Chains A and B, each alone.
Chain A
Amino acid sequence: MSRPILPLRRCSSRTSPNEYPLCPACDVHSVSRGIIGFGAYVPRWRLDRQAVKQALGWLSQGKGKAVGTRSYCNWDEDALTLGVEAARDCLSSVSAQPDAIWLASTSLPFADRSNSGLLAAALDIAPACHTLDSAGSLRAATSALISALTNTSCALVVGSDARKARPASPQELAFGHAAAAVLVGNEQVIAEHLGSHSVAIDFVDHYRATHAEFDYALEERWVRDEGYQKIVPPAIAALLTRCAVSPSEITHLLMPTGPAITTRLAKDCGIAATAVVDPLHTEIGDTGTGHPLLMLCHALETAAAGSLMLLIGFGQGVDALLFRVPTKKPSARPQRGVSGTVTAGKTDTMYTRYLAHQGLLDVDFGMRAERDARTAQSAAYRRHRDLTAFVGGRCSQCKTLQFPYSRVCVNPNCRLTDTQAAERIADVTGAVKSFTEDWLAYSPNPPLAYGNVNIGDGGNVFMEFADVEPGVLSVGLPVRMVFRIKDVDRVRGFHRYFWKATPVGS
């Protein structure tokens, strides 16, 4: 058997985005399915592991490594906002519009509110869209990807995690926060899907109960010997046999574990040591559910034509996926990609700030933090596209771009009624018109930075800035828009999102 038979195959001769007729020339059509776009996002803040060791070294007699940095969410980021940025990076390079949005994570912000639906809304995807939250295991992203590859849609699969770690735990140093996204389709395929193989085994290397804050992790040696080394190789062998690919042909072994485990596994499986891909743990940490996708995205940035990539997801079993980079590799590359977002990091040595942003240090933010941040849901829904997708209006007469959309044009020389058409501002590059760093205003990461942003075409938005350190802002500075948490309602356990401006270079 040279190729796996997928349940339903799709042809490039489709007539509309929502209709996939079988190829008229063949009953099992010849067009491959695979990855047609990829992107990633790693939050800007990187905690210096030495800072953790300096703060908590008294607990461990100086044992344990503390090399490099780990990524972490600013106070206004979570698994959803990371996912939005990864998805935008992915979609930046492709013209195809997804009709399915799947979000995989073990740290989704809402237990009962469609997180993938919110992701789709932030991307301003048309509502006729199949959304799905995939959760419950670190395999959630690779399992979702297998489903997408064996499905019919032009599916955007996003893996994202912002897992908390108990202070002083090994996970605190090991974990990172990030998201990666891949678009699955049939045209302009960057990585052709050759096959996949899944195994489900209730091997509890770690777990987190539904309402628990932190993982409970078991002994690493047991996980290595009984877990990785016994569960993964048979799955790889089964997949490669089915795809008629020799282990020695594998050019990229993409596995989100530490290089030591992966290298030994490669040897056991007959895969060349040179195929072992750096998981970037030193730079950003183990970012959880999305990490296999992040490694795939990173490898795709530079992979040569003909590369054979073996992607492994591990967690209560294993997902193994095999991809081949076609001979004529499309040139599509995301705007930032993994390499761009990894190098855009800012090293932070303030361990207590990291703790506060993770909600692990109960800081006194003063009485101004008591302000009620209740969301009027009916008002939010009335303007949900404005708020979630950052859609404003453009006057059809004077062409002024404006936010928020209003019935009457804001241009003092126009002021016509009902002339505005919806237009997305999220992808606009703006320029700082005025700014301040406000130490009086409540912010979980003071000073609160905000100001007027010229969005071009006559428009101005008074908005907050994200990820700016004091002294960075200046009049005229180019800014791009990012999706962030706007306010947290502690009383009702809700938080709302909106867009903020951040320097283009950050």
Chain B
Amino acid sequence: MATGIRDKVAIIGMGCARFGERWDASPDDLMLEAFTEASLDAGIDRDQIEAAWLGVFYQEQSTSKSGLPLSLALRLPNTPVTRVENLCATGTEALRGAVYAVASGAVDIALAMGMEKLKDTGFAGLPERTKGTFEDQWQPGFTPPGAFAQLASAYAARHGITHQDLKRAMAHVSWKSHENAADNPKAHLRNRITIEQILNAPVVAAPLGTFDCCGVSDGAACAIVTTPDIAANLARNQARRDIVTVKALALASSNGVEMGHASWDGSYTPTTRLAAARAYQEAGIKDPRKALSLIEVHDCFSITELVLMEDLGLSDPGRAVNDILDGRYDRTGAIPCQVDGGLKCFGHPVGASGLRMAYEIYTQLLGRAGARQLKNPSLGMTHNLGGIPNRNVASITVLGLNSI
């Protein structure tokens, strides 16, 4: 009988490159930047890594396929490297691969690296890509903002919320993330902006304006994982009293219902609800509203974060607008969300994002977050929604602090 991943694997080191329009940095540079930090943090040399997972989404514009780019960038000693890709859940998939490898007992130390080099396309926004030979012939020629904007029209219709109220709550989501990112030296967008600036920005895909959309950034983030026993020994050597362990790793994949069946009304993300239920069970969380110290969710667009607050069970149905405007998810609120600025302002190098979120949780749990440090956090959650509301992969990681 499977018992889940809770407390079977610990994270002993993490690194994150500075996100942004890194015109100066190649994919290799970004990976080395993240790995150097993680290696120093863990006290683990690259030669001690027994297996590695590399997450890259848009390989066409950066590294090409396979796990080789990581092996080449770090000159790993012919270590087994596996490339994973699962849309915006790619970074979390890399972590999942490494964590499961350690939990299986196959290896003691594994590396998860997520990297994306988006700014070599020559234009703003995410790169264009094919959806498949048949799908291209019938699906709309959508962009991510247009696909996620669908949530707004359906959510407003379902809950009878006015366009103005929804826009105001969406604006608060973005405003809060800009405020948080101002205290994050690694974030892409660190400027503070006003609600009025957000509301008056040009429309990208109605009703989403420029400031309802996250940054398109270059970046990399990584984690070194091992068994709790090894982690405890390493921590003692560094005079640390706590280790960070993985409490849950849950995924849910669309099976075509959202794209093809009327049972979904378009106003929420069913996969997030399923992944959250699985994650809470695996982590032993009975009431997430009380248990979670902080969350990092997939705020690719402001409306996504708004809807996710309900899908993750943190706001009651139809109440996200009120909770957001009440400051519940601000840094000073009951459940701080995107303390590092989120996808919105830290940036969204697709393959790195899941690991970047884990990096913030890890950093906060260990009390290293500097100006944005929360008071005594003990449990944090990351969430990614890969794809579009019509067809996606939802991934959730729960990390917690354990005394040794």
Contacts and interface: CB of A to CB of B under 8 A. Distances in A.
Contacts, number: 151
Nearest to B390: A462
A380 B134 CA distance: 7
B123 A410 contact: no
A464 B141 contact: yes
Interface in B132-146: 133-134, 136-143, 145-146
Given A410-B261, A437-B205, A448-B146, 6 more contacts: A367-B121, A367-B122, A373-B136, A376-B133, A439-B204, A455-B262
B264 A460 contact: yes
Nearest to A380: B137
Interface string A458-486: 11111110000010000110000000001
Given A412-B257, A438-B143, A438-B149, A452 B138 contact: no
Given A439-B203, A440-B145, A447-B206, A460 B261 contact: yes
B105 interface: no
A476 B157 contact: yes
A443 interface: yes
A406 interface: yes
Contacts of B157: 434, 475-476
A383 interface: yes
B154 to A, nearest CB: 4
A114 interface: no
Contact of B141 (A372, A386, A448, A456): A448
B145 A438 contact: yes
B128 interface: yes
A301 interface: no
A-side interface mostly: mixed
24 contacts: A367-B122, A368-B128, A410-B256, A410-B257, A410-B261, A433-B154, A434-B150, A434-B153, A434-B157, A437-B206, A438-B142, A438-B143, A438-B145, A438-B204, A440-B125, A441-B146, A448-B140, A448-B142, A452-B390, A458-B263, A486-B137, A486-B138, A487-B137, A498-B138
B156 to A, nearest CB: 8
B45 interface: no
Nearest to B260: A410
Interface in A427-445: 433-443
Contacts of B390: 452, 462
- Sorted nearest first, the 7 A-B pairs with minimum C-beta distance are A438-B146, A450-B140, A436-B149, A376-B133, A475-B157, A434-B150, A434-B154
A400 interface: yes
Nearest to A476: B157
A475 B150 CA distance: 10
Contact of B261 (A379, A448, A451, A459): A459
A39 B145 CA distance: 40
Contacts of B120: none
Interface in A377-426: 379-380, 382-383, 386-387, 400, 402-404, 406, 410-412
A370 B142 CA distance: 15
Contacts of A441: 141-143, 146, 205
A387 B138 CA distance: 7
User: What's the interface size class on A, roughly?
Assistant: 35 or more
Contact of A434 (B203, B208, B266): B266
Contacts of A386: 138
Nearest to B139: A462
Contact of A433 (B125, B140, B208, B266): B266
Q: Which of B147, B202, B256 is packed against the most chain A CB atoms within 10 Å?
A: B256
B151 interface: yes
Contacts of B133: 376, 379
Contacts of B208: 436
Contacts of B142: 438, 441, 448, 450
A309 B175 CA distance: 70
A63 interface: no
Nearest to A462: B390
Interface string A126-170: 000000000000000000000000000000000000000000000
B325 interface: no
B61 interface: no
Given A450-B142, A450-B146, A464-B140, A402 B260 contact: yes
A392 B204 CA distance: 33
A64 interface: no
A206 B138 CA distance: 40
Contact of B206 (A383, A436, A486): A436
Contacts of A470: 206
B238 interface: no
A454 interface: yes
B205 to A, nearest CB: 4
A366 B123 CA distance: 9
A372 to B, nearest CB: 8
A492 interface: no
B250 to A, nearest CB: 19
B255 interface: yes
A375 interface: yes
A433 B258 CA distance: 12
A487 to B, nearest CB: 7
B138 A436 contact: no
A367 B121 CA distance: 9
A211 interface: no
B374 interface: no
B252 interface: no
A336 interface: no
B154 A475 contact: yes
A3 interface: no
A353 interface: no
Interface in A15-66: none
A353 B150 CA distance: 27
B229 interface: no
A371 B128 contact: yes
Q: Which of A400, A459, A460 is packed against the most chain B CB atoms within 10 Å?
A: A460
